[in-house]
Amino acid sequence: MAYEETTAHSPLLPPKPIPDLAAGEFALFQALVLRESGIHLGAKNRAMLVSRLWKRLRALELNSFSAYYRRVKADPHEMVLMLDCICTNETHFFREPAAFDCLRQRVFPEWIAQADANKRTRTLRVWSAACSTGEEPYSLAMTLLSEFPPSSGWCIEVLGTDLSTKVLARASAGIWPTEKMSDVPVQYQRKFMLKGFGPEKGKIKAAGEVRKAIRFQRMNLTQEPYPVTGPFDLIFCRNVLIYFEWETKIKVVDRLGKLLTPDGYLFLGHAESLHGVADKLQFVAPKVFPAPKVPTARSGALCILQRREKAARD
Ligand SMILES: C[S@@+](CC[C@H](N)C(=O)[O-])C[C@H]1O[C@@H](n2cnc3c(N)ncnc32)[C@H](O)[C@@H]1O
């Protein structure tokens, strides 16, 4: 029988108690996280902050949140790791399927008609801002590659960005547990997903054609200048604005709007319907692309914006 050395965190030793997070310490982290990421931590996030940062305290063998705060301030690498802990990364393939239905039914026919009339090129530039572990940009890439095959002269470029380096590493790997596959429509599973076997059993991997279409980059939506080059035909920025304060949401949406092509679309998560959000943008959904009269499991309240000058031209 093999024996392992007992470590400081061995189950044989009583677990170290989690230090208290004093009100003053919480306020320091609140201000720091807000400044560095735009994420607003309310009083109800206090327990979440403790449990997420505790991992870092343990790893660094620090015994107070003040000591960890000083460490984060002094060490830019630790700042990145701290933000990795703070970010909530829940995502899945084809999240809010109504958005993908809308692309296929309303947006793609427009692009095809414009290309046929030589009013646009056959290159489509798409950005998943706050892409987490990649399910969103891969869902977009699969949808686009199916509708606009490179064999017909189309070129698909998908950019995935996020603040968290941890999720970007997973997104770039393009490998997920097989259970994730259930959200991927069967026709795309067959075409774009590889099932692992042997030591890779239980995993799925995106096929080369999809991986080639996507690139990833770290980017903070709340810090200008944005290190991306527009314009984009389509921007997805879903389920991230909810973490920001109102003024920050408005600024982010405004900046994203400036990076759209004149006919481009900005998709926000349905929970993020923002009325009067940006002067230069107008809502096309739910206004113009309404949800079906008889709601189905797929029909969410879409929140899609376009530049105002497009409406004036039409
Ligand atoms: C809940 S996930 C949403 C993922 C995907 N867009 C979706 O709807 O499924 C939110 C993501 O926003 C990222 N995030 C949080 N603050 C950010 C910021 N200031 N800049 C860029 N990304 C940020 C987090 O790291 C996280 O991966």
Q: Which two tokens mark 136?
A: 């969103």
Tens digit of each residue's pLDDT (9 = 90 or more) over 158-192 = 999 999 999 999 999 999 999 999 999 999 999 99
Per-residue model confidence (pLDDT) at position 89: 95
Nearest residue CA, atom 13 of ligand 1?
A: 130
Distances in whole angstroms, Cα of residue 177 to Cα of each of 170, 185, 200, 203: 12, 16, 10, 4
pLDDT tens, residue by residue, 126-159 = 999 999 999 999 999 999 999 999 999 999 999 9
Give the pLDDT of residue 209: 96
| Range in 61-65, 75-79, 308-312 the model is least confident about | 308-312
Residue 300: which pLDDT band, with cuts at 50, 70 and 90? low
Overall average pLDDT of the 227-250 stretch: 94
Residue 38 Cβ < 6 Å to ligand 1: yes
CB 239 near ligand 1, within 6 Å = yes
Q: Is 94 left (phi over 0), alpha (psi -120 to 50) or beta?
A: left
pLDDT at 67 over 50: yes
Which one is predicted more confidently, 5 or 226?
Answer: 226
Question: Which residue's CA is the closest to the ligand 1 atom numbered 9?
Answer: 91
CATH class, range 23-86: mainly alpha
Pick left, alpha or beta for residue 89 (phi over 0 → left; psi -120 to 50 → alpha; otherwise beta): alpha
Distance between CA atoms of residues 185 and 99, nearest Å: 14
- pLDDT score at 125: 98
Mean pLDDT of 1-28: 69
User: Per-residue DSSP letters for 226-263?
Assistant: PS----EEEEEE-SSGGGB-HHHHHHHHHHHHHTEEEE
pLDDT of 15: 67
For residues 26-60, one letter each, b for 16 or more C-beta atoms within 10 angstroms of the residue's C-beta and e for the rest, the string is: bebbbebbbebbbbebeeebeeebbebbbebbeee
71 pLDDT exceeds 70? yes
Residue type, 40: H
Output the average pLDDT for the chain: 90
CA 215 to CA 51: how far, in whole Å? Answer: 32
123 closest CA partner among 210, 259, 233: 233
Terminal C-alpha separation, the chain: 77
Q: Which CATH superfamily is domain 97-313 in?
A: Vaccinia Virus protein VP39 (3.40.50.150)
CA of 162 to the centre of ligand 1 (A): 6
Question: What's the pLDDT band for 2 if we cut at 50, 70, 90?
Answer: very low
Establish whether residue 96 lines the binding site of ligand 1, counting it when its CB lies within 6 angstroms of any ligand atom: no
Residue 303, H or E segment: strand 303-307
In tens, the pLDDT along 252-275 reads 999 999 999 999 999 998 766 566
Task: Give the model's pLDDT for residue 10.
Answer: 54
Kindly tell me if the per-residue pLDDT of 288 is higher than 80: no
Would the CB of 89 count as within 6 Å of ligand 1?
yes
* CATH 3.40.50.150 domain residues, the chain: 97-313
Q: Please give the average per-residue pLDDT across 274-281, as a whole number.
A: 70
The whole-number pLDDT of residue 251 equals 92
> Does the Cβ of 240 fall within 6 Å of ligand 1?
yes
Give the residue range(s) of CATH 1.10.155.10 domains in the chain: 23-86
Statement: residue 202 has pLDDT above 60: yes
pLDDT (mean) for 74-82: 98
Cβ contacts of 152 within 8 Å, gap of 6 or more: 122
Determine how many CB atoms are found less than 10 A away from the CB of residue 308: 14
Q: Rounded to the nearest whole angstrom, what is the distance from the C-alpha of residue 310 to the centroid of ligand 1?
A: 28
Please report which confidence band the pLDDT of residue 1 belongs to, taking 50, 70 and 90 as the band edges: very low
| Dihedral sign of CA atoms 226, 302, 38, 81 in order | negative
* pLDDT the model gives residue 281: 87
Packing angle between helix 23-37 and helix 76-86, nearest 10 degrees? 100
How far does residue 194's CA lie from ligand 1's centre (Å)? 26
Per-residue model confidence (pLDDT) at position 260? 97
C-alpha angle 187/108/144, rounded to 5°? 45
**Hey, what amino acid is at 90?**
E
